[in-house]
Amino acid sequence: MDRHEARSQSITLPSRVKPTAVALGALVLAFAATFASAEGDTIEAHGVSTFGNLKYDADYTHFDYVNPDAPKGGEFSTWAFGTFDSLTPYILKGNAAAGASVFYDTLMSGNLEEPDAMYGLVAESLEYPENREWVIFRMRPEAQFSDGSPVRAQDVLFSYNILKDKGRPSFKTTFQYFKSVEVIDDHTIKFTFDPEGPLRELLMTAGGIPILSEAYYETVDFTESSLEPPLGSGAYLLDSVEPGKSVTYKRRDDYWAADLPINVGQNNFDTIKFEYFADYTTAFEAFKGGAYLFREEYSSKVWGTGYDFPDLNAGYVQKEVLPDGRPSGTQGFWFNLRRDKFSDPRVREAIGMAFNFEWSNESLFYGLYNRTDSFWENSPTLEATGMPSEAELAILEPLREYFPETVFTEEAYVPATSKAADLADRRALRRAGKMLEEAGWVVGDDGFRYKDGVKLEIEVLNDSPSFDRIINPYIENLKRLGIDASANRVDPAEAQEREKNFDYDMVTQRFAMSQTPGDELQQIFGSASVDTPGSVNVAGLSNEGVDKLIRVIADAKTREELDVAVHALDRVLRAMHIWVPQWTKGTHTIAYRDVFGRPYADNPPPLSMGESSIWWWDEDKAQALRDAGAL
């Protein structure tokens, strides 16, 4: 993860589903056969889709967005921020290396086009009843771990149990509605769900569980972080590792699923490498010097002023802007509501008003960004606008006691516009100061605000020197309000540990939200995750009404019902002022050594560019750069 002008974290199950941002959604099978079984009518098919037909039928040969004839070979390399000390991504202990989930396959996987769909990978087919209270996966007998041992239903059961009992605490929330898991035979496994749970999406949750080897962990302690490569059945193995510096994965020549339609045209690079840097400027200079090949640029300053160097001017490095079809609006300074000083929403709103986005955009960002309003920014169908509709009110009114009155009386909250010419916009700061006084925080003789003898102090946690230029002006405005504000820049390892234990006042975070949200929203906004170490409930939000709204979203039967419910949740979260929204641009700004081919020109699949999976190494281009001394 990076922590610069766009910090990314995808909130899905840690599995092969993750790169596709597939939602854990409702299940409506397309191209499915319905037949009678001992347990009543069931549906059997090769995949599932949330609200409509699957794009690809059972006879598909590859996804349309790939090049089925893409050559294999070469290297994809990019950079990662911070450090790592582990190759075990599913436990709280240690900091796992980027890409460490590449070792594992799952029963099902998504794609880069359909936000609502999953197709069989280890599972050849699946069967479930219309009420979706259980699912049977029939696994491919040819599936093998990298040591040649078979992938069995017993391994899936083992994976479920050990992740639930000893994995990251968030797995307990993920699996809370799983009633039982039963091995029927070596290649058949059945999941049964609590009928009171969000049945729409639990099948997909089961399909996304990373499959671990039971035999391997008979001699390896799952709970201990390690740099020893774990045994998996995925397309890549560990090639080399330099602790804290770099990690390289190599493609398996004997990957059992290489020729399955779901993988045709994918996994094209012989090696995938992540180079680690603790400083953004150093990482960029390393890219200019050829230390790694691909870079998505998150700094507007670097994008606006830094891309003028010899290799780019000579055409050896390409610079592009590509559309990003994903929701992009969850980046901001998040309050830690576990701390009493943030209990009053007026205090949170006032603190937010001190952030002058317009000044930052003009003075720091070269006008490249727009202000974020919504938790589903860049998603017109999910973002709340204007006053609540009748359909929204039908959901919100029974929960009225839990929410601010402004949810019902005002339009969806949009941050006030400040003057771009003046960081200390006096009008905005006067309004913010009045709110603080109404909340009981008055200015003392020393110029700081106090309530009941306690000074209003705020620390903004940061681990990137390049982010100082953004935080420090904000700190200045907070001090003008009489808040004893400070920016605390720590090293990435300390930041990761403090975030795991919620040891911060405010922190910058960005979540990659799904286009088909569901019960996974509990992990970000749900009460059950508020005190779970390592959870991604960064704000510490615990609100019974929000919990109920999340359940309404998870139980939506149609896309229309889902959109309305998400509008309601978005409206509520914005009215609660649990964050200070930052900025968005809705595009990918990328640069790369001109050694790659890709199956599209200007329009990548909507859910991802697929740079490490569907791009490929172009040897002719690479040789041209070698001849020019640029590679």
Rg of the chain taking only CA atoms, in angstroms? 25
Tell me which of 3.10.105.10, 3.40.309.10, 3.40.1350.10, 3.40.50.970 is the CATH number of domain 332-583: 3.10.105.10
- Cα distance between residue 554 and residue 544, in whole Å: 15
User: How much is the pLDDT for 13?
Assistant: 29
Query: Averaged over 542-546, what is the pLDDT?
Result: 98
Q: 35-39, 130-134, 175-179, 523-527: lowest mean pLDDT where?
A: 35-39
How many distinct helices (H) and strands (E) make up the chain? 17, 28
Contact 379/440 with Cβ under 8 angstroms?
no
**Per-residue confidence (pLDDT) for residue 30, from 0 to 100:** 31
Mean pLDDT of 181-206: 95
CATH 3.40.190.10 boundaries in the chain: 18-61+84-218, 236-325+586-627
Share of the chain above pLDDT 70, in %: 93
| DSSP string across 583-616 | EE-SEEEEEEES-EE-S-SS---TT---TTTT-E
Q: Which of residues 310 and 51 earns the better pLDDT score?
A: 310
Q: Is the pLDDT of residue 517 over 70?
A: yes
- Estimate to the nearest angstrom the gap between the alpha carbon of 205 and the chain centroid: 16
Range of weakest confidence among 158-162, 526-530, 572-576: 526-530
What letter does residue 279 receive in the DSSP assignment? -
The DSSP code sequence of 125-157 is EEEEETT-SEEEEEE-TT-B-TTSPBP-HHHHH
Structure token pair of residue 252? 């398996």
CATH topology classification for 236-325+586-627: D-Maltodextrin-Binding Protein; domain 2 (3.40.190)
Name the phi and psi angles at 549, rounded to 5.
-65, -40
So what's the pLDDT on residue 197?
92
Cβ 539 vs Cβ 337: under 8 Å: yes
pLDDT at residue number 328? 75
Instruction: For residue 119, give every residue at least 6 positions away whose Cβ sits within 8 Å of its Cβ, in sequence order, or none.
Output: 46, 47, 54, 56, 108, 109, 110, 111, 262
Quick check: 50 pLDDT over 90?
A: no
Give the separation between CA 392 and CA 565, rounded to whole angstroms: 7
What average pLDDT does the structure give for the chain?
91
In Å, what is the CA distance from 546 to each residue of 326, 495, 522? 23, 28, 9
pLDDT digits (tens, 9 = 90+) for 421-473: 999 999 999 999 999 999 999 999 999 999 999 999 999 999 988 889 999 99
Look at residue 17 and tell me whether its pLDDT is greater than 70: no
- Joined together, the tokens standing for residue 464 give 């990137």
Tokens describing residue 360: 């930052």
pLDDT tens-digit profile of 344-381? 999 999 999 999 999 999 999 988 899 999 999 988 89
Please, where are the H alpha helices in 372-441? 390-396, 406-409, 426-438
Q: Is the pLDDT at 2 greater than 60, yes or no? A: no
Q: What does DSSP assign to residue 282?
A: H
Q: What is the pTM of this model?
A: 0.86
**Lowest-pLDDT range, 510-514, 573-577, 619-623?**
510-514
In tens, the pLDDT along 66-91 reads 999 999 999 999 999 989 999 999 99
8 A C-beta contact, residue 251 and residue 263? no
pLDDT given for residue 40 in this prediction = 63
Superfamily in which the 18-61+84-218 domain is placed by CATH: Periplasmic binding protein-like II (3.40.190.10)
User: What was the pLDDT predicted at 264?
Assistant: 98
Is the pLDDT reported for residue 25 higher than 70? no
| Residue 527 three-state SS | helix
Whether the predicted pLDDT of 521 surpasses 80 = yes
pLDDT tens-digit profile of 275-292? 999 888 899 999 999 999
In the chain, what percentage of residues exceed pLDDT 90? 82
Q: What is the pLDDT of residue 329?
A: 65
Residues whose CB falls within 8 Å of the CB of residue 113, separated by 6 or more in sequence, listed in order: 55, 63, 64, 65, 605, 606, 607
Residue 342's pLDDT band, with cuts at 50, 70 and 90, is very high
Confidence of residue 547 (pLDDT cuts 50, 70, 90): very high
Q: Residue 49: its pLDDT value, please?
A: 86
Most distant CA pair in the chain: distance in Å? 80
The CA distance from 389 to 412, in Å, is 11
pLDDT value of position 51: 83
What are the phi and psi torsion angles at 560 (to 5°)?
Answer: -65, -45
**Tokens read off for 114:** 């359909």
